[in-house]
Amino acid sequence: MPKKVGVLALQGDFEAHAKALERAGAEPVLVRTAEDLKSIDGLVIPGGESTTMLKLLDFMNLKDPLREFAREKPVFGTCAGAILLAQEVRNPAQESFGVIDLTVDRNAYGRQIDSRVATIHPAPEFGERAGAGDVEAVFIRAPIIRRAGPAVKVLAEYEGDPVLVEQGRHLVATFHPELTQDSRVHKLFLSKL
């Protein structure tokens, strides 16, 4: 029976994550209420606009349930999701959940026009758990991880900065793995469930 993985479906490209999770072998569940969190094994917080997501989480009374969920089950944040999971957010500073010991700078790769597709070379451990080979990484107004705490494991870098990291059961990517047909990053997350 496939694991049920939620995708926060308030804003951002949650449908692409749902399709990537299906390709990786999970059953995606779109999460819009605290009740939705009760039936899932893990959660993906997609890219989008982190300040808008915070406002929507507030409006939907999801902040505290999401914090509680992250204390007990795996969460995978991409781009804006990475910002929300970080310990510290800069440029400008904003609220976050502090799930992973990271400091991130928002939109640090530049504006929308500076978005890019790059090839990254993951650490051998990534290959052992998700499949070997390079990964195509789509960066769209992406944050940069400026500091990773001692418990954070860097699984891939781009131009010397961490772009795929994990701490315990949680995973963060500053790029958008859901925008490619390669589901290995999602498979890596499923290995944590």
Catalytic residue among 17, 170, 176, 186: 176
Catalytic residue among 79, 166, 170, 186: 79
Half-sphere exposure of 186 (CA within 13 A, CB side): 30
Is 178 labeled as catalytic in the residue annotation? Answer: yes
Catalytic residue among 17, 166, 178, 186: 178
Is 79 labeled as catalytic in the residue annotation? Answer: yes
Q: How far apart are CA 108 and CA 131, in angstroms?
A: 29
Is 170 labeled as catalytic in the residue annotation? Answer: no
Q: Which residues are known catalytic residues?
A: 79, 176, 178
